[in-house]
Structure 1
Amino acid sequence: MQVSPIRRQTRLREEAIVLDGARDVFRSICDWVSGRVGGLGRKAGDAAANGTARTLSALAGAKGTFIALGVLGASGYLLHAYPPLVTVGRGEGGVRVNRLTGGVSEWRDGSVFVMPGLHDMHLYSLRDRIYQPEPIRRADGAAPLQSVEGLSLGIDLSVRYALDATRLAAVSKNLPDDIGREIVEPAVQGVIYKIFARYTVREIFSVKRVEIQQAIEAELKSKLAQDGIVLRTVHVGKVDLPADYRRGMEGLLAEELATQKMRYTLELKDKRVQAIALDGEAEKVRREKAAEASAREQIIAAKAQEEAMKHVLPFKRRQIEQRRLEAEAAKTARIKGAEGGAEARRIEAGGEAEARQKLADAEAYRLDRVGRVNAEQMEREGALISRHPLLIQKTLADKLSDKVQVIIAPPPADGGFIASNLIGSPKRAGAAAADGQAAEGR
């Protein structure tokens, strides 16, 4: 909790005034003691000078000094027994009350100046506390709870609470020393006995536990808030039932469990039958949907095919027309090619015939020329042989092998050349030549 700046300044001003007053008192006491001690020394000197008569009067004056020393000792003891600084630990809250003004100030961790006789300091723990009432824990305990049937039962109850730090200064004057025993315990007992008396043992034991816990927490929170206590949680734990009721409850629970088991078994079988029926219905619906989907697919495919045929038929017609044109073009090309081939073959045949004619003419010319040349050569040779008949014999002899040394042949009748039968006689040759010339002349 934060202290406002005005309250802090007021508190600091009060502490400064108190400290200044204490400092002035202490300083005046010290001055008085030092003065009395100095006066005692002077009186002791006078007593030594004046004699024993003055000693008694000096001792009477020293009585005040001893009183001052006693006051100082008592003050030191009081400071030791009642220190002016009080430490506020972690998790604690301090409330300082001014007896003169009635002002209240709150403090957290740290040291607080407390003037004895002027201030009262109270320390409170701000940590969470747990209250567990022991008398109600067992059904046969000292103060068990009562159900609506009048049966005793025990409850393991835990109440977790803490002081409200925001209202500590306001409620500190009314808080007792033992908060748990004097405030929390009566409030809890006044609430739980009343609430548990509304329910049956069966409800407390089974189905109404959370509702009871919420009801206790709601009613107890408002009641404790009036005293500056914050309720954290309320926990309802183990329920201790009476022995007879526990045995009857166990038998009843066993029967109920058997009944519930049978009911659950029947419900399970019913659900299985329903599941099978639903599966069959789902299969039927699935098949119908599949058939409808297949029919729709076929319809869509037929429509798509029909739509496609609208585009395919013109395309097919164009393809047929294109192929017809291509066939006509190929036919025309083949005709043109055949005509070109025939013309080429005709030209080739004409060229070949002309070439053969020219070759034949050339061959005839060659043969004619060769014949003429041979005839002229033979004519020259015949004329030469006519002039020189022995050339025949010489040529024959040249033609024979050089190994032939003897030739046996019958001599001619006219005494001519021995080989005249082979090559003819000169006379016959001359006569034949004359006959040839005569034939040419005719």
Structure 2
Amino acid sequence: MVIEDDWDIKGPDEEKRPPMPEIKIPPMAGTVLRGAAIVLTVLIIFSVVFGSIFVSIGAGEVGVKFNQFGGVEDDELGEGLHIVPPWVSVTKYSVRSEVYTMTARPSEGEVIGDDQINALTNEGLTLGLDITVRYRLVAEDASVVHKNLGTGYAEKIIRPTIKSVIREVVSGHAAMEVYGEQRELVAAEMKDEMEAALLEDGIIVEEVLLRNVRLPEKVADAIESKLQADQDAQRMIFVKQKEQLEAERKIIEANGIANATIVRATGEAEALRLINQELSKNPKLINYKYIQMLEEQEVQTLIVPSDQGIILDATK
């Protein structure tokens, strides 16, 4: 009995199938492919032994290269995929707008707890200030920042600069200037001072927000009382102006009525003058007007004094 393996059994279709054509690779192409395979293998070995040689820099980032044989390199890596030697490490820095907040609110800011800045005014009053600074790293200076400050540059340079500038600027102003209507001007002065101090370190200050100013309790109460008094005074001025306008309106109205009366009286007097003038010319005109009035009343019988004569048409 002969047992045949399954792979020895060929179907009728397989016996009729033509042999696969032989693919011939040109010698030059084969050499290139072998070289590429060798290079890829070497790169993979280097990546495994020394770390990845492929570095991806994301949007809004810059890469600072550190050469194990030469230190920090000045040419930063821009956005995109880069190939670097295995002995070069890359540290990524954000060049987008960042914020640093110092506030009394425990849930806000870079420091947990009360991180409000206390500063003295030129009057010797202590103000508490909540500050937010918006800044960004200059991409071309990232290698300098990495060399001089490192990745924690915000705590090393931005925080102390904020505190120093805030205290210096506030010391040149009165409490009401910082607290009141000039707050934006004070914030602009703080921005200019911070930008001048941080620009040499490769940091641009974009905006300083003076979010809240806490006054001493006695000063706050005094300001509240003054504001209330000002509001009461403004209210009284408004009431007085309203009453004055009402009085002026009544005077104008009375003058109008008086002028109208004068005009009407003048007109009536002129009418009487004209009537008297006509009567002086024709005394019987008044009898005629009187009879006309009676005719309009449909009077049937009329008694006229005998000495007045007949002034009606008897034919009617």
TM-score of the superposition, structure 1-length normalised?
0.40
Rg larger for: 1
How many residues end up aligned between the 2 structures?
Answer: 208
Measure how far apart 1:250 and its partner are.
1.2
Measure how far apart 1:206 and its partner are.
1.3
1:104 aligns with 2:70: no
Provide the rounded CA distance (Å) in 2 between the counterparts of 1:212 and 1:160: 16
Give unpaired runs (5+ residues) of structure 1. Answer: 1-19, 28-71, 281-442
Larger relative strand fraction: 2
1:85 aligns with 2:85: no
1:260 is aligned to 234
- Selected match of 2:85 from 108, 112, 115: 115
Measure how far apart 1:217 and its partner are.
1.2
1:257-296 equivalences under 5 Å are 257-263=231-237, 272=245
Provide the rounded CA distance (Å) in 2 between the counterparts of 1:268 and 1:199: 39
1:209 aligns with 2:183: yes
3-state SS of 2:148 partner:
coil
Give me the identity figure in percent: 24
Provide the rounded CA distance (Å) in 2 between the counterparts of 1:232 and 1:265: 47
Measure how far apart 1:189 and its partner are.
0.7
Provide the rounded CA distance (Å) in 2 between the counterparts of 1:102 and 1:154: 41
2:281 is aligned to none
RMSD between aligned residues? 3.9
Measure how far apart 1:129 and its partner are.
0.9
> CA-to-partner distance for each residue in 1:128-149, whole Å, 9 max, x for gaps?
1111113699xx9775222223
Residue identity in the other structure for 2:99: I
Per chain length, whose mean CA-contact separation is higher, i.e. which structure has more relative contact order (CA < 8 Å, sep 6+)?
Answer: 2
Measure how far apart 1:172 and its partner are.
4.2
Give unpaired runs (5+ residues) of structure 2. Answer: 1-35, 107-113, 254-316
Provide the rounded CA distance (Å) in 2 between the counterparts of 1:257 and 1:200: 23
Change (3 A) 1:265 1:236: farther
Measure how far apart 1:115 and its partner are.
2.2
Provide the rounded CA distance (Å) in 1 between the counterparts of 2:124 and 2:115: 15
Provide the rounded CA distance (Å) in 1 between the counterparts of 2:140 and 2:73: 17
Change (3 A) 1:76 1:160: closer
1:180-191 equivalences under 5 Å are 180-191=154-165
- Selected match of 2:128 from 154, 164, 174: 154
3-state SS of 1:213 partner:
helix
Decide whether the 8 Å contact of 2:161 with 2:194 is kept in 1: yes
Provide the rounded CA distance (Å) in 2 between the counterparts of 1:134 and 1:121: 34
Decide whether the 8 Å contact of 1:136 with 1:145 is kept in 2: no
3-state SS of 1:107 partner:
coil
Change (3 A) 1:108 1:122: same
Residue identity in the other structure for 2:49: L
Change (3 A) 1:100 1:177: closer
Provide the rounded CA distance (Å) in 1 between the counterparts of 2:174 and 2:52: 58
1:95 is aligned to 64
Change (3 A) 1:76 1:130: closer
TM-score of the superposition, structure 2-length normalised?
0.54
Measure how far apart 1:207 and its partner are.
2.1
3-state SS of 1:104 partner:
coil
> CA-to-partner distance for each residue in 1:173-221, whole Å, 9 max, x for gaps?
3242212111111111111011112222222221221111111111111
